Structure 1
Amino acid sequence: MPFGVRSFISNRYLITQLIRREILLKYRGSLLGISWSFLHPLLVLGAYVIALGPLISDRWGLNGSHWDTVLFVYCGLSVFSPFAEVIAASPRLLQNHQSYVKKIIFPTEVLSVVTTCSAVIHGLVSLFILTVLACANGHWHPALLALPLLLLPAWLFILGISWLLCTAGAFIRDVSHAMPVITQLALFLSPVFYPTSAMPKALQVLQSYNPLAVAMEQTRGTVLRHSLPSLESWSLMLLIGSFIMALGLASFNSAKEDFADVL
Protein backbone atom coordinates (compact mmCIF):
# COMPACT_ATOMS: atom_id res chain seq x y z
CA MET A 1 0.00 0.00 0.00
CA PRO A 2 1.43 3.45 -0.96
CA PHE A 3 2.74 5.56 1.92
CA GLY A 4 0.20 8.32 1.32
CA VAL A 5 -2.75 5.93 1.49
CA ARG A 6 -1.41 4.33 4.69
CA SER A 7 -0.98 7.76 6.26
CA PHE A 8 -4.54 8.85 5.47
CA ILE A 9 -6.05 5.60 6.71
CA SER A 10 -4.07 5.66 9.96
CA ASN A 11 -4.94 9.33 10.50
CA ARG A 12 -8.58 9.13 9.43
CA TYR A 13 -9.87 10.15 12.88
CA LEU A 14 -7.55 13.18 12.96
CA ILE A 15 -8.65 14.18 9.46
CA THR A 16 -12.32 13.87 10.39
CA GLN A 17 -11.91 16.02 13.48
CA LEU A 18 -9.91 18.68 11.63
CA ILE A 19 -12.54 18.85 8.86
CA ARG A 20 -15.26 19.28 11.48
CA ARG A 21 -13.21 22.00 13.19
CA GLU A 22 -12.52 23.74 9.87
CA ILE A 23 -16.20 23.93 8.98
CA LEU A 24 -17.33 25.05 12.45
CA LEU A 25 -14.62 27.72 12.73
CA LYS A 26 -15.53 29.17 9.36
CA TYR A 27 -18.99 30.13 10.55
CA ARG A 28 -18.29 30.72 14.24
CA GLY A 29 -19.63 34.06 15.45
CA SER A 30 -21.96 34.62 12.47
CA LEU A 31 -25.70 35.01 13.10
CA LEU A 32 -26.74 32.49 10.45
CA GLY A 33 -23.95 30.03 11.16
CA ILE A 34 -23.69 27.04 8.86
CA SER A 35 -26.73 28.28 6.92
CA TRP A 36 -24.21 30.37 4.97
CA SER A 37 -23.08 27.18 3.25
CA PHE A 38 -26.50 27.26 1.53
CA LEU A 39 -26.91 31.02 1.24
CA HIS A 40 -23.47 31.85 -0.16
CA PRO A 41 -23.73 29.78 -3.38
CA LEU A 42 -27.28 31.07 -3.94
CA LEU A 43 -26.20 34.70 -3.53
CA VAL A 44 -23.22 34.23 -5.85
CA LEU A 45 -25.43 32.51 -8.40
CA GLY A 46 -28.00 35.29 -8.19
CA ALA A 47 -25.37 37.97 -8.74
CA TYR A 48 -23.95 36.28 -11.85
CA VAL A 49 -27.36 35.44 -13.31
CA ILE A 50 -28.63 39.00 -12.85
CA ALA A 51 -25.48 40.43 -14.45
CA LEU A 52 -24.94 37.89 -17.21
CA GLY A 53 -28.22 35.97 -17.50
CA PRO A 54 -29.69 37.63 -20.63
CA LEU A 55 -26.35 37.46 -22.45
CA ILE A 56 -25.87 33.76 -21.61
CA SER A 57 -29.45 32.84 -22.49
CA ASP A 58 -29.40 34.55 -25.90
CA ARG A 59 -25.85 33.65 -26.85
CA TRP A 60 -25.80 29.96 -25.95
CA GLY A 61 -29.17 28.85 -27.22
CA LEU A 62 -31.07 28.37 -23.98
CA ASN A 63 -34.30 29.50 -25.65
CA GLY A 64 -34.71 32.44 -23.33
CA SER A 65 -35.38 30.13 -20.40
CA HIS A 66 -34.47 31.87 -17.16
CA TRP A 67 -34.24 28.62 -15.21
CA ASP A 68 -32.06 26.95 -17.83
CA THR A 69 -29.76 29.96 -17.65
CA VAL A 70 -29.59 29.58 -13.87
CA LEU A 71 -28.79 25.87 -14.19
CA PHE A 72 -26.22 26.49 -16.94
CA VAL A 73 -24.28 28.94 -14.76
CA TYR A 74 -24.69 26.93 -11.56
CA CYS A 75 -23.31 23.78 -13.16
CA GLY A 76 -20.09 25.69 -13.81
CA LEU A 77 -20.00 27.38 -10.41
CA SER A 78 -20.62 24.15 -8.49
CA VAL A 79 -17.44 22.73 -10.01
CA PHE A 80 -15.34 25.89 -9.87
CA SER A 81 -16.19 27.09 -6.34
CA PRO A 82 -14.37 24.28 -4.44
CA PHE A 83 -11.35 24.83 -6.69
CA ALA A 84 -11.34 28.58 -5.97
CA GLU A 85 -11.71 27.97 -2.23
CA VAL A 86 -8.82 25.51 -2.14
CA ILE A 87 -6.31 27.47 -4.23
CA ALA A 88 -6.98 30.61 -2.18
CA ALA A 89 -6.13 28.80 1.07
CA SER A 90 -3.41 26.34 0.02
CA PRO A 91 -0.35 28.62 -0.40
CA ARG A 92 -0.62 29.77 3.24
CA LEU A 93 -1.58 26.44 4.80
CA LEU A 94 1.83 25.71 6.28
CA GLN A 95 2.41 29.31 7.36
CA ASN A 96 -0.94 29.34 9.16
CA HIS A 97 -0.18 26.05 10.90
CA GLN A 98 3.48 26.48 11.83
CA SER A 99 2.93 24.87 15.22
CA TYR A 100 1.88 21.69 13.41
CA VAL A 101 4.81 21.83 11.00
CA LYS A 102 7.32 21.99 13.84
CA LYS A 103 5.81 18.94 15.51
CA ILE A 104 7.68 16.06 13.92
CA ILE A 105 4.92 13.56 14.66
CA PHE A 106 2.18 15.62 12.98
CA PRO A 107 1.32 14.42 9.42
CA THR A 108 1.33 17.78 7.65
CA GLU A 109 0.15 16.22 4.39
CA VAL A 110 -3.34 15.97 5.89
CA LEU A 111 -3.69 19.78 5.93
CA SER A 112 -4.42 19.83 2.21
CA VAL A 113 -6.77 16.89 2.62
CA VAL A 114 -8.70 18.79 5.29
CA THR A 115 -8.89 21.97 3.20
CA THR A 116 -10.00 20.07 0.10
CA CYS A 117 -12.56 17.95 1.95
CA SER A 118 -14.01 21.06 3.57
CA ALA A 119 -14.37 22.65 0.12
CA VAL A 120 -15.86 19.42 -1.28
CA ILE A 121 -18.48 19.39 1.50
CA HIS A 122 -19.48 22.90 0.44
CA GLY A 123 -19.45 21.60 -3.13
CA LEU A 124 -21.86 18.83 -2.13
CA VAL A 125 -24.17 21.48 -0.69
CA SER A 126 -24.02 23.23 -4.08
CA LEU A 127 -24.83 19.95 -5.83
CA PHE A 128 -27.83 19.49 -3.55
CA ILE A 129 -29.05 22.99 -4.42
CA LEU A 130 -28.40 22.29 -8.09
CA THR A 131 -30.43 19.08 -7.92
CA VAL A 132 -33.34 20.88 -6.21
CA LEU A 133 -33.28 23.65 -8.83
CA ALA A 134 -33.13 21.09 -11.64
CA CYS A 135 -36.10 19.16 -10.25
CA ALA A 136 -38.06 22.38 -9.74
CA ASN A 137 -37.50 23.18 -13.43
CA GLY A 138 -38.65 19.78 -14.66
CA HIS A 139 -35.17 18.34 -15.12
CA TRP A 140 -35.50 15.42 -12.71
CA HIS A 141 -33.69 12.37 -14.02
CA PRO A 142 -32.01 9.44 -12.22
CA ALA A 143 -28.70 10.56 -13.76
CA LEU A 144 -28.68 13.47 -11.27
CA LEU A 145 -27.81 11.00 -8.52
CA ALA A 146 -24.48 10.36 -10.26
CA LEU A 147 -23.28 13.99 -9.98
CA PRO A 148 -20.95 13.43 -6.99
CA LEU A 149 -19.31 10.52 -8.82
CA LEU A 150 -18.90 12.63 -11.95
CA LEU A 151 -17.01 15.26 -9.94
CA LEU A 152 -14.63 12.79 -8.28
CA PRO A 153 -11.85 13.31 -10.91
CA ALA A 154 -12.13 17.09 -10.44
CA TRP A 155 -11.87 16.75 -6.66
CA LEU A 156 -8.77 14.56 -6.93
CA PHE A 157 -7.29 17.14 -9.29
CA ILE A 158 -8.04 19.91 -6.76
CA LEU A 159 -6.34 17.94 -3.97
CA GLY A 160 -3.21 17.55 -6.10
CA ILE A 161 -3.19 21.27 -6.90
CA SER A 162 -3.53 22.00 -3.17
CA TRP A 163 -0.40 19.98 -2.34
CA LEU A 164 1.53 21.68 -5.15
CA LEU A 165 0.50 25.18 -4.03
CA CYS A 166 1.09 24.32 -0.39
CA THR A 167 4.64 23.27 -1.24
CA ALA A 168 5.31 26.29 -3.45
CA GLY A 169 3.80 28.69 -0.90
CA ALA A 170 6.16 27.49 1.82
CA PHE A 171 9.21 28.56 -0.21
CA ILE A 172 7.80 31.44 -2.27
CA ARG A 173 5.55 33.75 -0.26
CA ASP A 174 4.49 35.62 -3.40
CA VAL A 175 2.37 32.66 -4.47
CA SER A 176 -0.37 33.54 -1.99
CA HIS A 177 -0.48 37.14 -3.23
CA ALA A 178 -0.90 35.98 -6.82
CA MET A 179 -3.85 33.72 -6.06
CA PRO A 180 -6.66 36.34 -6.30
CA VAL A 181 -5.54 37.26 -9.82
CA ILE A 182 -5.05 33.64 -10.82
CA THR A 183 -8.49 32.75 -9.46
CA GLN A 184 -10.14 35.46 -11.57
CA LEU A 185 -8.21 34.38 -14.66
CA ALA A 186 -9.18 30.75 -14.06
CA LEU A 187 -12.83 31.74 -13.65
CA PHE A 188 -13.05 33.49 -17.00
CA LEU A 189 -10.80 31.01 -18.84
CA SER A 190 -12.93 28.09 -17.63
CA PRO A 191 -16.28 27.24 -19.24
CA VAL A 192 -18.31 28.58 -16.31
CA PHE A 193 -20.35 31.15 -18.24
CA TYR A 194 -19.98 29.65 -21.70
CA PRO A 195 -19.53 26.19 -23.24
CA THR A 196 -16.10 24.82 -24.13
CA SER A 197 -17.13 24.90 -27.79
CA ALA A 198 -17.03 28.72 -27.65
CA MET A 199 -13.29 28.71 -26.96
CA PRO A 200 -10.55 28.94 -29.60
CA LYS A 201 -9.59 25.52 -30.95
CA ALA A 202 -6.26 25.44 -29.12
CA LEU A 203 -7.97 26.09 -25.78
CA GLN A 204 -10.62 23.49 -26.55
CA VAL A 205 -7.92 20.86 -26.95
CA LEU A 206 -6.26 21.98 -23.71
CA GLN A 207 -9.55 21.98 -21.79
CA SER A 208 -10.39 18.49 -23.02
CA TYR A 209 -7.63 17.28 -20.65
CA ASN A 210 -8.66 19.57 -17.79
CA PRO A 211 -10.76 17.64 -15.23
CA LEU A 212 -12.42 20.87 -14.05
CA ALA A 213 -13.56 21.97 -17.51
CA VAL A 214 -14.67 18.47 -18.47
CA ALA A 215 -16.58 18.13 -15.18
CA MET A 216 -18.44 21.37 -15.93
CA GLU A 217 -19.55 20.11 -19.33
CA GLN A 218 -20.43 16.67 -17.99
CA THR A 219 -22.48 18.25 -15.21
CA ARG A 220 -24.38 20.37 -17.75
CA GLY A 221 -24.97 17.33 -19.90
CA THR A 222 -26.38 15.44 -16.93
CA VAL A 223 -28.57 18.30 -15.64
CA LEU A 224 -29.81 19.87 -18.88
CA ARG A 225 -29.69 16.95 -21.33
CA HIS A 226 -30.16 14.04 -18.89
CA SER A 227 -27.16 12.21 -20.32
CA LEU A 228 -24.23 10.65 -18.53
CA PRO A 229 -20.71 10.93 -20.00
CA SER A 230 -19.09 7.93 -21.58
CA LEU A 231 -17.15 5.62 -19.29
CA GLU A 232 -14.03 6.23 -21.41
CA SER A 233 -14.22 10.01 -20.95
CA TRP A 234 -14.83 9.76 -17.20
CA SER A 235 -12.05 7.18 -16.78
CA LEU A 236 -9.58 9.42 -18.62
CA MET A 237 -10.41 12.33 -16.32
CA LEU A 238 -10.08 10.03 -13.29
CA LEU A 239 -6.64 8.99 -14.52
CA ILE A 240 -5.54 12.61 -15.03
CA GLY A 241 -6.96 13.69 -11.66
CA SER A 242 -5.24 10.79 -9.91
CA PHE A 243 -1.94 11.61 -11.64
CA ILE A 244 -2.08 15.26 -10.52
CA MET A 245 -2.96 14.13 -7.01
CA ALA A 246 0.00 11.70 -6.92
CA LEU A 247 2.30 14.37 -8.37
CA GLY A 248 1.20 16.88 -5.74
CA LEU A 249 1.70 14.42 -2.87
CA ALA A 250 5.12 13.38 -4.19
CA SER A 251 6.14 17.05 -4.46
CA PHE A 252 4.94 17.73 -0.92
CA ASN A 253 6.70 14.71 0.57
CA SER A 254 9.96 15.51 -1.22
CA ALA A 255 10.06 18.98 0.37
CA LYS A 256 8.57 18.01 3.72
CA GLU A 257 11.86 17.88 5.62
CA ASP A 258 12.66 21.48 4.70
CA PHE A 259 9.37 23.07 5.75
CA ALA A 260 10.38 23.69 9.37
CA ASP A 261 13.54 25.50 8.20
CA VAL A 262 11.88 27.85 5.70
CA LEU A 263 8.88 28.80 7.83
Structure 2
Amino acid sequence: MIRSIWSYRGFISGSVKREFQSRYRNSLLGAAWTVLNPLAMIVVYTVIFSQVMQAKLPGVSNGFAYSIYLCAGVLTWGLFAEITGRAQNVFIEHANLIKKISFPRICLPVIVVLNAGVNFAIIFSLFIGFLILSGSFPGMTIIAVLPVLLIQVAFAVGLGMIVGVLNVFFRDVGQFFVVLLQFWFWFTPIVYPLAILPEWAQHYISFNPMVPLIVAYQDVLVHAKWPQWSSLMTPLLVSVALCAIGMRLFRKRVGEIVDEL
Protein backbone atom coordinates (compact mmCIF):
# COMPACT_ATOMS: atom_id res chain seq x y z
CA MET A 1 0.00 0.00 0.00
CA ILE A 2 2.75 2.46 0.98
CA ARG A 3 4.66 1.53 -2.18
CA SER A 4 1.58 2.23 -4.29
CA ILE A 5 1.07 5.61 -2.64
CA TRP A 6 4.73 6.51 -3.16
CA SER A 7 4.63 5.42 -6.81
CA TYR A 8 1.66 7.72 -7.41
CA ARG A 9 2.98 10.62 -5.33
CA GLY A 10 2.94 12.88 -8.40
CA PHE A 11 -0.72 12.10 -9.02
CA ILE A 12 -1.51 12.74 -5.33
CA SER A 13 0.37 16.04 -5.08
CA GLY A 14 -1.11 17.24 -8.38
CA SER A 15 -4.62 16.37 -7.22
CA VAL A 16 -4.12 18.21 -3.93
CA LYS A 17 -2.85 21.29 -5.75
CA ARG A 18 -5.68 21.25 -8.31
CA GLU A 19 -8.35 20.79 -5.67
CA PHE A 20 -6.98 23.62 -3.54
CA GLN A 21 -6.86 25.94 -6.54
CA SER A 22 -10.30 24.96 -7.86
CA ARG A 23 -11.90 25.46 -4.45
CA TYR A 24 -11.05 29.17 -4.49
CA ARG A 25 -11.14 29.82 -8.23
CA ASN A 26 -13.29 32.85 -9.17
CA SER A 27 -13.33 33.86 -5.50
CA LEU A 28 -12.20 37.37 -4.61
CA LEU A 29 -11.01 36.36 -1.14
CA GLY A 30 -9.53 33.03 -2.24
CA ALA A 31 -7.91 30.98 0.53
CA ALA A 32 -9.03 33.58 3.07
CA TRP A 33 -12.31 31.65 3.27
CA THR A 34 -10.36 28.87 4.97
CA VAL A 35 -9.86 31.29 7.85
CA LEU A 36 -13.14 33.24 7.67
CA ASN A 37 -15.48 30.26 8.06
CA PRO A 38 -14.16 28.97 11.42
CA LEU A 39 -13.42 32.54 12.51
CA ALA A 40 -17.08 33.48 12.06
CA MET A 41 -18.10 30.50 14.21
CA ILE A 42 -15.59 31.44 16.91
CA VAL A 43 -16.76 35.08 16.95
CA VAL A 44 -20.42 34.05 17.28
CA TYR A 45 -19.71 31.62 20.11
CA THR A 46 -17.42 34.12 21.84
CA VAL A 47 -20.04 36.88 21.71
CA ILE A 48 -22.81 34.58 22.92
CA PHE A 49 -20.98 32.56 25.56
CA SER A 50 -17.90 34.51 26.64
CA GLN A 51 -19.43 36.27 29.65
CA VAL A 52 -20.90 33.02 30.95
CA MET A 53 -18.01 30.69 30.17
CA GLN A 54 -15.05 32.95 30.98
CA ALA A 55 -15.65 32.46 34.70
CA LYS A 56 -16.05 28.70 34.18
CA LEU A 57 -12.47 28.14 33.00
CA PRO A 58 -10.58 27.18 36.16
CA GLY A 59 -7.10 28.58 36.76
CA VAL A 60 -7.12 30.91 33.75
CA SER A 61 -6.85 34.70 34.10
CA ASN A 62 -5.96 35.57 30.49
CA GLY A 63 -8.53 37.90 28.93
CA PHE A 64 -8.33 35.89 25.71
CA ALA A 65 -8.85 32.60 27.57
CA TYR A 66 -12.29 31.72 26.24
CA SER A 67 -11.40 32.68 22.66
CA ILE A 68 -8.30 30.47 22.87
CA TYR A 69 -10.40 27.71 24.44
CA LEU A 70 -12.84 27.91 21.52
CA CYS A 71 -10.08 27.94 18.93
CA ALA A 72 -8.42 24.89 20.50
CA GLY A 73 -11.65 22.94 20.05
CA VAL A 74 -13.24 24.46 16.95
CA LEU A 75 -10.13 24.37 14.75
CA THR A 76 -9.13 20.82 15.61
CA TRP A 77 -12.74 19.62 15.39
CA GLY A 78 -12.88 21.27 11.96
CA LEU A 79 -9.98 19.09 10.81
CA PHE A 80 -11.74 15.96 12.06
CA ALA A 81 -15.05 16.98 10.47
CA GLU A 82 -13.43 17.83 7.14
CA ILE A 83 -11.56 14.53 6.86
CA THR A 84 -14.54 12.38 7.79
CA GLY A 85 -17.02 14.52 5.87
CA ARG A 86 -14.97 14.45 2.67
CA ALA A 87 -14.02 10.78 3.07
CA GLN A 88 -17.65 9.68 3.24
CA ASN A 89 -18.21 10.86 -0.36
CA VAL A 90 -14.70 10.48 -1.77
CA PHE A 91 -15.47 7.41 -3.91
CA ILE A 92 -18.84 8.75 -5.08
CA GLU A 93 -17.43 12.17 -6.01
CA HIS A 94 -14.61 10.59 -8.02
CA ALA A 95 -16.76 7.93 -9.71
CA ASN A 96 -15.81 9.06 -13.24
CA LEU A 97 -12.12 9.08 -12.37
CA ILE A 98 -12.33 5.62 -10.81
CA LYS A 99 -14.07 4.17 -13.87
CA LYS A 100 -11.82 5.76 -16.50
CA ILE A 101 -8.33 5.70 -14.97
CA SER A 102 -6.39 2.83 -13.41
CA PHE A 103 -4.69 3.90 -10.18
CA PRO A 104 -4.56 2.67 -6.58
CA ARG A 105 -7.92 3.68 -5.07
CA ILE A 106 -6.23 4.25 -1.70
CA CYS A 107 -4.82 7.45 -3.20
CA LEU A 108 -8.23 9.10 -2.89
CA PRO A 109 -8.41 9.02 0.94
CA VAL A 110 -4.78 10.20 1.03
CA ILE A 111 -5.73 13.20 -1.12
CA VAL A 112 -8.60 13.98 1.25
CA VAL A 113 -6.29 13.94 4.28
CA LEU A 114 -3.64 16.09 2.59
CA ASN A 115 -6.20 18.67 1.45
CA ALA A 116 -7.64 18.89 4.95
CA GLY A 117 -4.10 19.09 6.33
CA VAL A 118 -3.21 22.04 4.09
CA ASN A 119 -6.32 23.95 5.17
CA PHE A 120 -5.65 23.16 8.83
CA ALA A 121 -1.98 24.18 8.56
CA ILE A 122 -2.98 27.60 7.20
CA ILE A 123 -5.48 28.44 9.92
CA PHE A 124 -3.54 26.84 12.79
CA SER A 125 -0.43 28.80 11.82
CA LEU A 126 -2.45 32.01 12.07
CA PHE A 127 -3.77 30.83 15.45
CA ILE A 128 -0.20 30.26 16.67
CA GLY A 129 0.62 33.79 15.51
CA PHE A 130 -2.31 35.10 17.55
CA LEU A 131 -1.06 33.20 20.63
CA ILE A 132 2.38 34.75 20.26
CA LEU A 133 1.08 38.31 19.74
CA SER A 134 -1.34 38.06 22.68
CA GLY A 135 1.34 36.66 25.01
CA SER A 136 -0.52 33.37 25.36
CA PHE A 137 1.93 31.07 23.61
CA PRO A 138 2.27 27.88 25.72
CA GLY A 139 6.02 27.47 25.18
CA MET A 140 7.62 24.05 24.74
CA THR A 141 4.40 22.24 25.57
CA ILE A 142 3.19 23.18 22.08
CA ILE A 143 5.03 20.10 20.76
CA ALA A 144 2.46 17.95 22.58
CA VAL A 145 -0.04 19.01 19.92
CA LEU A 146 1.74 16.81 17.34
CA PRO A 147 1.10 13.35 18.86
CA VAL A 148 -2.46 14.35 19.73
CA LEU A 149 -2.94 15.51 16.15
CA LEU A 150 -1.59 12.23 14.77
CA ILE A 151 -4.04 10.23 16.88
CA GLN A 152 -6.92 12.44 15.78
CA VAL A 153 -6.01 12.16 12.10
CA ALA A 154 -5.72 8.36 12.39
CA PHE A 155 -9.11 8.28 14.11
CA ALA A 156 -10.65 10.44 11.36
CA VAL A 157 -9.04 8.40 8.57
CA GLY A 158 -10.21 5.06 9.97
CA LEU A 159 -13.74 6.28 10.57
CA GLY A 160 -13.83 8.09 7.22
CA MET A 161 -12.70 4.98 5.34
CA ILE A 162 -15.42 2.85 6.93
CA VAL A 163 -18.16 5.41 6.28
CA GLY A 164 -16.85 6.11 2.76
CA VAL A 165 -16.95 2.45 1.70
CA LEU A 166 -20.35 1.81 3.30
CA ASN A 167 -21.77 4.97 1.72
CA VAL A 168 -21.09 3.57 -1.76
CA PHE A 169 -23.42 0.66 -1.09
CA PHE A 170 -25.86 2.31 1.34
CA ARG A 171 -26.31 6.02 0.58
CA ASP A 172 -28.26 6.60 3.80
CA VAL A 173 -24.99 6.09 5.69
CA GLY A 174 -23.65 9.43 4.46
CA GLN A 175 -26.84 11.29 5.33
CA PHE A 176 -26.91 9.74 8.79
CA PHE A 177 -23.26 10.61 9.39
CA VAL A 178 -23.86 14.29 8.59
CA VAL A 179 -26.55 14.40 11.28
CA LEU A 180 -24.35 12.43 13.68
CA LEU A 181 -21.51 14.94 13.31
CA GLN A 182 -23.81 17.77 14.38
CA PHE A 183 -24.82 15.98 17.58
CA TRP A 184 -21.25 14.77 18.11
CA PHE A 185 -19.98 18.38 18.12
CA TRP A 186 -22.29 19.36 20.97
CA PHE A 187 -21.54 16.21 22.93
CA THR A 188 -17.85 17.21 22.91
CA PRO A 189 -16.61 19.93 25.31
CA ILE A 190 -15.70 22.47 22.64
CA VAL A 191 -17.99 25.39 23.44
CA TYR A 192 -18.39 24.54 27.13
CA PRO A 193 -15.89 23.21 29.73
CA LEU A 194 -16.40 19.61 30.76
CA ALA A 195 -16.31 20.65 34.43
CA ILE A 196 -19.62 22.56 34.26
CA LEU A 197 -21.59 19.40 33.47
CA PRO A 198 -23.15 17.30 36.23
CA GLU A 199 -21.23 14.17 37.17
CA TRP A 200 -23.68 11.80 35.49
CA ALA A 201 -23.33 13.72 32.19
CA GLN A 202 -19.53 13.72 32.48
CA HIS A 203 -19.66 9.96 32.95
CA TYR A 204 -21.58 9.36 29.71
CA ILE A 205 -19.63 11.93 27.69
CA SER A 206 -16.39 10.25 28.79
CA PHE A 207 -17.26 7.43 26.37
CA ASN A 208 -16.87 9.89 23.50
CA PRO A 209 -13.39 9.16 22.04
CA MET A 210 -13.05 12.77 20.88
CA VAL A 211 -13.25 14.11 24.47
CA PRO A 212 -9.68 13.14 25.56
CA LEU A 213 -8.30 14.57 22.31
CA ILE A 214 -10.07 17.92 22.60
CA VAL A 215 -9.23 18.16 26.32
CA ALA A 216 -5.57 17.46 25.47
CA TYR A 217 -5.55 20.36 22.99
CA GLN A 218 -7.16 22.59 25.60
CA ASP A 219 -4.63 21.58 28.25
CA VAL A 220 -1.77 22.56 25.95
CA LEU A 221 -3.16 25.69 24.30
CA VAL A 222 -5.24 27.16 27.14
CA HIS A 223 -3.48 25.98 30.29
CA ALA A 224 0.04 25.58 28.84
CA LYS A 225 0.43 22.16 30.46
CA TRP A 226 1.20 18.69 29.16
CA PRO A 227 -1.85 16.53 28.43
CA GLN A 228 -2.63 13.46 30.50
CA TRP A 229 -1.05 10.91 28.20
CA SER A 230 -2.83 7.99 29.86
CA SER A 231 -6.19 9.47 28.83
CA LEU A 232 -5.13 9.26 25.18
CA MET A 233 -4.70 5.48 25.24
CA THR A 234 -8.39 4.87 24.54
CA PRO A 235 -8.60 7.11 21.45
CA LEU A 236 -5.25 5.68 20.28
CA LEU A 237 -6.54 2.10 20.49
CA VAL A 238 -9.85 3.10 18.88
CA SER A 239 -7.94 4.83 16.07
CA VAL A 240 -5.78 1.78 15.39
CA ALA A 241 -8.85 -0.47 15.41
CA LEU A 242 -10.79 1.81 13.05
CA CYS A 243 -7.85 2.06 10.64
CA ALA A 244 -7.49 -1.73 10.62
CA ILE A 245 -11.22 -2.25 10.04
CA GLY A 246 -11.33 0.50 7.42
CA MET A 247 -8.41 -0.96 5.45
CA ARG A 248 -9.81 -4.48 5.66
CA LEU A 249 -13.22 -3.29 4.47
CA PHE A 250 -11.64 -1.25 1.68
CA ARG A 251 -9.49 -4.12 0.41
CA LYS A 252 -12.40 -6.52 0.52
CA ARG A 253 -14.83 -4.22 -1.32
CA VAL A 254 -12.56 -2.17 -3.60
CA GLY A 255 -13.50 -4.27 -6.65
CA GLU A 256 -17.20 -3.99 -5.92
CA ILE A 257 -16.95 -0.22 -5.45
CA VAL A 258 -16.22 0.25 -9.16
CA ASP A 259 -19.25 -1.82 -10.16
CA GLU A 260 -21.53 -0.06 -7.65
CA LEU A 261 -20.69 3.49 -8.76
Taking structure 1 as the reference length, the TM-score comes to: 0.87
Find the counterpart in structure 2 of residue 121 from structure 1: 118
After superposition, give the CA deviation of every residue in 1:3-42 in whole Å (9 maximum; x if it has no partner): x323222222222211112211111111011122222222
Q: Any residues of structure 2 matched to 1:29-108 within 5 Å, and which?
A: 29-61=26-58, 66-103=63-100, 105-108=102-105
Asked if 2 retains the 8 angstrom alpha-carbon contact of 1:86 and 1:116, the reply is yes
Deviation at 1:168?
A: 1.0
* Residue of structure 2 in register with 1:179 after alignment: 177
Name the CA distance, whole Å, in 1 between partners of 2:221 and 2:7. 38
175-184 or 73-82: bigger deviation: 175-184
Counterpart of 1:23 (choices 14, 20, 24) is 20
31-40 or 253-262, which deviates more = 31-40
Q: Does the residue aligned with 2:254 lie in a helix, a strand or coil?
A: helix
> Aligned partners of 2:168 and 2:187: how far apart in 1?
27
| Cα distance in 2 for residues equivalent to 1:114 and 1:38 | 21
AA in 2 matched with 1:49? T
Following superposition, the deviation at residue 219 of structure 1 comes to 1.1
The answer to whether the 8 Å contact 1:82/1:120 transfers is yes
Cα gap change, 1:42 to 1:244, in 2 (>3 Å): same
Q: 2:5 corresponds to which residue?
A: 8
Question: In percent, how many aligned pairs have the same letter?
Answer: 21
- Conserved? CA contact 1:147–1:219, under 8 Å: yes
2:225 corresponds to which residue? 227
Distance 1:93 1:152 in 2: 21
Distance in 2 (CA, whole Å) between partners of 1:240 and 1:83 is: 15
Give the whole-Å Cα distance in 1 for the aligned partners of 2:188 and 2:57: 15
Distance change (3 Å), C-alpha of 1:104 and 1:249 = farther
| Residues 37 and 148 of structure 1, relative CA distance in 2, 3 Å threshold | farther
Query: Aligned-pair distance for 1:83?
Result: 1.7
CA contact (8 A) 1:127 1:147 kept: no
- Give the deviation of 1:91 after TM superposition: 2.6
Q: Which moved more, 1:11-20 or 1:85-94?
A: 85-94
Specify the code of the residue in structure 2 equivalent to 1:248. G
Measured in 1, the distance between the counterparts of 2:140 and 2:225 equals 10
What SS does the corresponding residue of 1:206 show, helix, strand or coil? coil
Higher mean displacement: 26-35 or 193-202: 193-202
Could you tell me how far 1:240 is from its partner in structure 2? 3.5
C-alpha distance 82-24 of structure 1, shift in aligned 2 (>3 A): same
Maintained 8 Å contact 1:191/1:216: yes
Structure 2 CA distance, aligned partners of 1:14 and 1:139?
A: 40
The worse-fitting range, judged by mean Cα deviation, of 229-238 and 75-84 is 229-238
Where 2:89 maps in the other structure, the secondary structure is helix
Paired position in structure 1 for 2:207: 206
2: CA distance between counterparts of 1:126 and 1:66? 21
Structure 1 gaps of 5+ residues are: none
The Cα shift of 1:227 comes to 1.6
Q: Name which of structure 1's ranges 144-153 and 155-164 shifts more when overlaid on structure 2.
A: 144-153
Q: Paired residue for 2:191, among 166, 172, 193? A: 193
| Matched pairs, number | 257
Matched, 1:165 2:176: no
Letter in 2 for 1:177: Q
Q: 1:55, CA displacement in angstroms?
A: 2.4
Change beyond 3 A, Cα 1:63–1:53: same
Q: Output the TM-score relative to the length of structure 2.
A: 0.87
Paired letter, 1:29: N
